[in-house]
Each structure stands twice: as C-alpha cells, then as structure tokens.
Structure 1
Amino acid sequence: MAIIGAEQTPGFPTTAPHHCAPAAVPRGARVQAQGWGWKHAGRDRPAVAGLEMDIPAGQRVLLVGPSGAGKSTVLHALAGVLDGGDEESEQTGTLLIEDIPAGQQRGVAGLVQQDPESQVILSRVGDDVAFGAENLCVPRAEIWDRVRGALQEVGLGPEEGITLDRDTSRLSGGQKQRMALAGILAMRPPLVLLDEPTANLDPEGVLEVRDAVMRLVERTGATLVVVEHRLDVWAEHVDRMLVLEPAGGISHDAAPAELLAPGPVRDELAAAGIWVPGYVPEPVELESRALRRVVEHSDEHDPRSSSVSDASNSAVLLTGTGLSVSREPRTPGWRRRFSAPPAPAQTDLDVELDGGSAVVVTGPNGAGKSTLLLSLAGLIPVHAGMLAAGAALKGPRGADLPDDPFRWKAADLVSRVGTVFQEPEHQFVTTTVRKEVLYGPQHARDPRSGERLFTDEEAEQMADDLLELLGLTHLGEMNPFTLSGGEKRRLSVATVLAAGPDLVFLDEPTFGQDANTWAVLTGLLRRLVAEGRSVVAVTHDRDFIDVLDARVVALR
C-alpha cells in the first residue's frame, strides 16, 4: 500500500500521526497529464514519453499495454512514489491530481502495488490494514469498523480463518494481495490505483476482489485507474480504456467495447500483445540457434547422465510419501515456544515426478501451493514423511548424494533442481541482468570433483542465448530490481534455466506477461518438456495448463 501525505511510523500502529493529511478531495479526483514523461536512472530511453490524458473525477479507467510499456511507472508517479530527487532520473511535462503536481498531493491516492511483499508494513493483519486510515486521521472509533468490513470484502474475514492479530508473514502471496487491497478499502481515497491486483489470486478471489473494488468506487465516487493484463475481468466494468505504447504515450483511448470489438483495432491490439478477451496466442515454436544451444549445453553438462533423453518419460526423478509441509520451522524459536504450533499447510501428500512431464498445482489462496513447491524443490524441509530424489535425478556423479534434496549443497542442487519464486526479487543476487543469468552456470559444480560444469565461455554463451530468447538482451546491464514486473519474471526464469536443471519448479510463471511474452515463455517451457526435462508449476492460468498439457494436482 502507498499513501500520500502520511507520517509512516511502522511499529506504532495505534498512535495517530502528528500531522494528518488534509481531506482536500471528498470524492473523486481529476487526473491530467500534459506531455508527461519519465526516464528511470541508468536507462537510455524513457519508460513513458509524451503522455497526454485527462481523466475526470469519478471515471473508471483500464490502463493497458505490452510488458514494459510503463504502466506501473504511471501509477507510481500518480501515487508520488517515484524518486524525483534522483539526479539520474528525468521527468518531462506535468502530471496533476486536482491541479496539483502528483508528487506534491497529500491524502488523495491509494496504490496497490504489483508485488504483494513490497507493501506489507506491519506484523499483524489488522494493524496493516488500519495503517493508511490512521495516517489519514480517520477517527479511531471508525477505523476498526472499516478494517473489519474491508477484510470481509476481500475474503479475509474470520470465516476464512484470518483474525485481526494474524501474523502477516504467515499469509500466502494471494492473501497478501487481498490484504493490500483491504488497506485501500479502509482508506477510501479519492484516487484508487491498482497494479495487477488480481495477478496472484485464485479464480474465485479474482471476482471477489474486482467486485469489492467496484463497490468502493460506486459508494465513494472515487476515480479508478487499474492496470491489468487480462482484460476480460475489468473490461465490462470500466468507462474507458487507455493503451500505452512502449516508451511512448497513448495509442488508443476509447470505451473498451469500441476498442475490443472485432475489427482492425482489436487485431492491432492482439498483435501488440494485449490480452483481448477470447484471444489465446499459440506458444511460439522456438527453433532458434539460441534455444538449440541452451538444450545442447544442458545435455552436455547434465550431472545425471550423458544424455537427458535416455531417462526421460520413464525415470522417476522425485518421490514423496506421506508428506506434511509448512513454512514454520520444525523446532519453534523462543518467541513461539509456548504457543500452539501452527498446523501444516498440507498433510499426507504422496507425490511422484517423472522425467519429461509437466505438472500444475492449483488450489485456493492459502492452500499451501507455494509451500509444497519449496519443499519439493529442497529449499525448506518437509515436516513429516519421506522425500527422495531418484537415481535419474542424482545421476552417476551424484550417487553419493543424500536422498532428501534439502540436504544437498547449493552447487549440487542448482544443476539438478531449479526454482522460480513467486516474488522474483527474492532470487536476485547480483547488480545487473546479465550477471544474474551468469550466476547459475558459474556456480554449478560436479558433486564428486568439485569442478565447474560450465566454462566461462559456455556460461557467457548460455546467458546471451537466454536473454535473446526472453527478450531481455537490451536490459543486460540494468539492475534487476529496476525492471518491470513482467521483465523480472522472465529474468527469474532465465536465471534458473541457465544452469540446465532437469527438474524446474515455477511459482506463477506467467505473472505480468503480455500475450506475446506469454507465448514465448510457454513455448520455451513446452520445448524443454519435449526434450525430457520436467516442469512443475503453481498457477491459476488455465491457458498455461492447457498448452503444456499438464497433469493437474488440486489442493484444498
């Protein structure tokens, strides 16, 4: 959550700020851009340029565009959270809210950001949701009624087992996204800014959250600007659709029904990567030299055997019997030693993963999907049961490895098992995009000899190939944390594939992707499965499941 004009004092949620933001705009807020543009520090070209728009107070707007078009930049500028004091950043034109520069407005905008982790402020759910309203000097007696109502609206009430004192660190990614929106509902700001607010939600939660937003703007008259790649969720509920061009301004501005009707404009939008309703792109059949080199390098240095295809489609890579999984440590720390131990996220699970297979784990938010993924990937220990890697995954060089991948050294794990986290930032460890992709192959080791599996030249070639395949070559020298959400997701996939693992786990792999980048990503993963590697994904993306012809494991 981002709020404007608040003294933010994490850790003191029940103490009102000394200086409250003035309630200058009682209902909706007018937004105007006049030749506005922004170039991020270190970039050669602007994220947005020549933006012209006038959004009347109370209007509901869907802001769309290809991945990297600058949609999040516009929302962050309206919320006043771009760093205007950075000497390397450049701003042109004007961006106004109620005739005041957006960066100077106070108490007007509420922002739900793309990354749920980045907006958790306090350690308890109730305090976190109350934070914005407190900083806007809502009377204390009114705040908690707002908080309870907002949590109920987004599906995080007592019926779902979420109490006001629930530890925010125990929420799933989707639940954190709901909590962030609840904070905005409790604030009731005149300008509501939502950056892919449904990206991590289960199908039921998508509709629940959308309807909660629409009730808020209907009740308060707030102006709504929402960024979302999948247009069908919002198209019938907004007044206007603005289409951003990469590094440019607005290419189309009209009612969604007009832009999305069959005809040349709809075809143009689909070709640009816009997810027009009813359109699902075909996965790109990747036959490039870059892809062939990626597969050949991985096979040549596969720690299992000399040829991955020898074991594909038949060998068992990983087996789990009677598994119980949880993110809580098996031995609680002193702070929780005297409280009741939390229940595991899932219990009594039996799992078998074969070579050359695609598996998708589905289920409602909070069901433990990400926890199961991290447990199977050897990144957190299982709480009960047995998890064992098969001989096909260990390979002849790893015959002496323990059965449980959690006990493997990082250098042994990286060339066998790769994991794409739900939050891409959690796996970035270097200062540039190119170094990030190089990190895996540079650290992959033979478990017996300790020698590197890839030479420097091979690692460099692998990085070049993956950056080319995933459309990231032009960003090679950029800091990973400055990329757009969709670009970060593709980078996180590249970093994992660079070490040539035989078993790849992905948490929400298509998050933040436009239709064109989605087609490339799914084409790459489908090709890897066809070459004998295995993919296990957590996703709510039905189209992803279909194109990979994946086996579905539904958690409850």
Structure 2
Amino acid sequence: MGGAAAPTPAALEAQAWGWRYATRHRWALCEVTLRIEPGERVLLLGASGSGKSTLLQGLGGVLGGADEGEELGALLVDGVPAAQAHGRVGMVLQDPDTQTILERVGDDVAFGCENLGVPRDEIWPRVDAALDAVGLDLPLDRSTATLSGGQKQRLALAGVLAMRPGAILLDEPTANLDPEGVTEVRDAVAAALDATGATLVVIEHRIDAWLDLVDRVIVLGTEGETTVVHADGTPKAVLGARGAELAAAGVWVPGHPPAVPPPPAATPGEELLRTRDLVVARRRGVPVAGPFELTVRAGEAIGIVGRNGAGKSTLGLTLAGLIAPETGRVEASAVLAEGAKGDPIRWTSRALLTRIGTVLQSPEHQLLARTVREELAVGPRALALPEDEVNARVDDLLERLRLTALAAANPYTLSGGEKRRLTVAAALATRPRVLVLDEPTFGQDAKTWAELVGIIARLRDEGAAVVVISHDEQVLRALHARRIEVGA
C-alpha cells in the first residue's frame, strides 16, 4: 500500500465483558471472554441478535459512555481499554451511510488520517492507494451523496485502510455489494492484511468468500443471560465437525442451505403497475437507468438485479411512488388505485400506505418511533384503524418476525438483522397490494432468512406483488422471481 512503515498488529481481548443498551432490559452481551492474538484473522459468527456487532463496536470504541448503556468487565486493545486505543483499530460498520462524513470522496477517505495527525504530504498518497485497493475508481472531488450503497461501503473501507490501523474490524462489509464488488472488497482486505499484518475480525453471514482468508472461526451464542463461545477453532474444525449443529442454530454453513418455500401454485394475476418509457434519476436532470417497459402483476415476485450504482434502488423508489420519473411514467391499474388519483407519485402518503409498501436499503432511514411496538403501529394508526385492530396486527407481526422480546426496545439499538426484520414488518402492517423490498434479507442468519423468505412467498401466493432489489441470488431463486436486469 506504499507510504510509511506498517503498524504492528493489535491484540484484542474481552474479559468477562458485557454491554446493555440504556433502553434495554436484556444484555446485548454478558460475561463474554475471548482473546485474539496479534495478526490473527478471525471470522466472527452467531445467530442474528447474538451480540456480534455490539462486540465489534465495543472493540472499535464507538459504543459511547455511561449515558448510552451499562458496561461490565473490560475490552482491551493491546492491554489498553478499547475506548482509549485511538488509531489502533479501524472499523467498517453495517450501514456505510453512518460513516460517510464529508461531501467529497477524497476528503472522506482522508478524514481519519487527519484526525490521527498524519503528515499532509503522506495523507494523499494513502488516499489514492486506499481507493485503488478497494476498486473505487472515482474522482477525489466526486460527491459522496451520489454514491450507491455498495460504493459507500467501499469508501468506508478505504477510509479505514488509509489510517493503517493495527486491527481491522468489518461488520458485514459485503452485504450490499454485487458479486464483483464482493470479490474486490475481499481482495482489497487480503492485500491490506498482507501488506500490514493487521489483525482482522470480520462478521459475515455469507462466509464463503472469507474462508480462505481467515485462520480462526469464533461462534457466539447465549446460555440464559450469559454470552458463550459456542465454537472456536480453525474453519475446517468448526464448520466441518459442527456444521449441522451450527446450521440448526442459524449460522450460515456451506453445505447446509436453509429451507426454501415451495414454488408459486398459480400463475401471476392481474396487472397492478406498468411503466412506459420510464427513465429514473435521483436528481433531476441526471438520469441513471432506463428506459423501462415493465409490468408488475398480482401474485408475482420480480427481482431487480445489476451492479452497484446501476440504478436498482432508484428504480425501486420510482415504482414505489417515492421519486418522480425523470421521463416516462409509472401507471397504477384501477385495481391498485382504488380511487386514488393519478400515478403513484401523486398519491398522498396515506394512499400509498395500503397500496405500495416500501423497505429502504438502509433501515435507519425509515425508523420513526421510540419502541419497536410503536414503530409497527405507525402505519395502522395513520389509517385510523381501531386500536384493537392495531394491536392485533402488531402482535401478529412481532411473533412472525421474531421481534416479540424486543417490543419495548428502541429500534436504533437493534442489530442490523433485527432492524431489517422490523422495517419489513412495518411495511406489512398496512397490508399493501405491492411491496418494494430493497435488500430484504440483509443481516439475517440462516434461520431468520428462511422465515423471512417464507413470509414474502406467502404474501406472493396470497396475491401481493413483490418487487425485490437484491444481490442475494439465493433469495431470488427461492421466490422464483422474474429477473429485471438494470444497466445490462
């Protein structure tokens, strides 16, 4: 990667450590004890909600102080409390939007180096090398607001690599990337580790791309209130000898695929949406994809696929009536409109609620309430449903999406996978005829993935139209989705 001498790799340690968020009764982790030696490359696994992301955030020193939660035990980096180990750990979180700080690509990558006091004449060679390493060939003055989710993820990784920390912590760094992007990020991490010798801890549900890179697998689980290490060893020892057991607990294990729903029993029904010469854009005058001639039918799943930055999410938002077409139209059939006037972009928010439900790529962008239960009640209450009907719908969704134990929790304290299930549940609460789901299976363990896909398949079979934007080929196959490729 060029520049100054590589840092020494960092040692990471948890000593009977625990963390409880200020708004939660249950500990996210409790009494977890483990040590990661300098230079080790560790894949951290566990079911959704097992505390993996909280542990990484603690090691990265970003959990906050006593006003954010309660802490037990100690988290150490090179024997120093993690919160005081400035510059020794670099971290890429689940949501890259939370780490995009500055308006221009070059400034954003340089930000961490500037905070660490790296000499100015060394910063920009580091920035160039880091962007090259993650395959992000963009002008340094490119606006970060124009980047896709996958591009922002690589930008966040470039910012970490430029700081040259002793440990690199990655929380699902490839979750929203196309297959080429996954390979680029994985290879960029490998090159950085080879050049620096840094310690690596990576959380991924889909682990195939990382198995050749890591030398140790740690699996977290719970026994009562205590966090335990269910398995710890080489990838072969852990995934080979205990693969079936771990898969049953929700861990993604190669060779142990989750259950998938049966194919649809009926052919697609009546037309609900149609596009005519549709060209889509996030900013007026800057088209990103099209023209499209699409039909969306009842009882059908459609998969929108393509490379990062091709315009998939923009197409989804336009179909959902949340972004105006650049040119062309999105037309709703009389069956879907049910008296609403004009095309979906002209509908009121209340009209959209019962007709087109949307799950955005970043869950945080659509969280509105203080608790999970209140979040699920927002839509039904906006429809002025009777309170007993609101409660019945909320209770049903809490149970179906495995969120009952989190009903009183602040949505922002949930894991990435739990937030995703919450936003899907909130979209289902108003029972729309069309669902537009952007990466609906992000952050799910194998068990919750199968349950979520099963719910989507049932909605399809009950007559809803489901538009799924995803790089997860497995979910598109499981739903027997008709594929629409953007940017071909």
**Is the shorter-chain TM-score for this pair beyond 0.5, marking a shared fold?**
yes
Taking the aligned partners of 2:26 and 2:292, their CA distance within structure 1 comes to: 50
Provide the identity percentage.
Answer: 52
Letter in 1 for 2:346: R
Amino acid aligned to 2:398: L
Q: Please tell me whether the aligned partners of residues 281 and 314 of structure 2 are also in contact (alpha carbons under 8 angstroms).
A: yes
Contact preservation (8 Å) 1:418, 1:497: yes
In 1, Cα distance between equivalents of 2:402 and 2:328? 42
1:404-430 Cα offsets, whole Å, 9 max, x none, are 101001111100000000011111111
Q: TM-score if structure 1 supplies the norm length?
A: 0.84
Q: Distance in 1 between matches of 2:94 and 2:148?
A: 15
Q: 2:80 aligns with which of 88, 95, 100?
A: 100
3-state SS of the aligned residue for 1:211?
helix
CA distance change for structure 1 residues 25 and 363 in 2, over 3 Å: closer, same or farther? closer
* Secondary structure at the counterpart of residue 54 of structure 2: helix
- The match for 1:266 is 243
Q: Distance in 1 between matches of 2:30 and 2:261?
A: 30
Is contact 1:360-1:552 (8 Å) kept? yes
The equivalent of 2:463 in structure 1 is: 532
1:439 corresponds to: 378
Find the partner of 1:203 among 179, 182, 192. Answer: 179
Q: How does 1:96-495 map to 2 (within 5 A)?
A: 96-157=76-137, 162-246=138-222, 248-261=227-240, 263=241, 265-283=242-260, 313-328=268-283, 330=284, 341-342=285-286, 344-395=287-338, 398=339, 401-444=340-383, 452=384, 454-495=385-426
Contact 1:390 1:403 in 2 (8 A): no
Match of 1:61, SS state, is: strand
In structure 1, list runs of 5 or more residues that go unmatched: 1-22, 286-308, 331-340, 445-451
Deviations 1:132-182 (A, max 9, x none): 11222222122112111211221211xxxx211111011011110010001
RMSD (Å), alpha carbons: 1.8
Aligned equivalents of 1:351 and 1:490: distance in 2? 28
Q: In structure 2, how many angstroms separate the alpha carbons of the residues matched to 1:327 and 1:278?
A: 40
Structure 1 ranges of 4+ moved more than 4 A: none
Aligned counterparts of 2:131 and 2:84: Cα–Cα separation in 1: 30
Between the aligned partners of 1:359 and 1:509, the Cα distance in structure 2 is 13
For the 8 Å contact 1:48–1:249, the answer to whether it is kept is no
CA distance in 1 between counterparts of 2:6 and 2:96 reads: 27
CA contact (8 A) 1:323 1:382 kept: yes
CA distance in 2, matches of 1:106, 1:172: 30
The 5 Å alignment of 1:6-25 reads none
| Alpha-carbon displacement from aligned partner over 1:93-113 (angstroms, at most 9, x marks no partner) | 121111111111122111101
How far apart are residue 432 of structure 1 and its match? 0.8
2:45 maps to 64
Report the residue type matching 1:410 in the other structure. Answer: S
Partner amino acid, structure 2, of 1:85? A
Please tell me the residue identity of whatever aligns with 1:489. Answer: R
Distance 1:552 1:312 in 2: 16
The Cα shift of 1:314 comes to 2.5
Equivalent pair of 1:126/1:165 in contact (CA under 8 Å): yes
- Between the aligned partners of 1:235 and 1:347, the Cα distance in structure 2 is 38
In structure 2, runs of 5+ residues without a counterpart are none
Distance in 2 between the 1:131 and 1:356 partners? 48
CA distance in 2, matches of 1:24, 1:174: 30
Q: For 1:150, give the aligned amino acid.
A: A
* Kept after mapping to 1: 8 A contact 2:215/2:235: yes
Q: Give the partner amino acid of 2:47.
A: P
Return the index of the structure with the highest Cα Rg.
Answer: 1
TM-score (norm: length of structure 2)? 0.95
Give yes or no for contact 2:350–2:382 (8 Å, CA) kept in 1.
yes
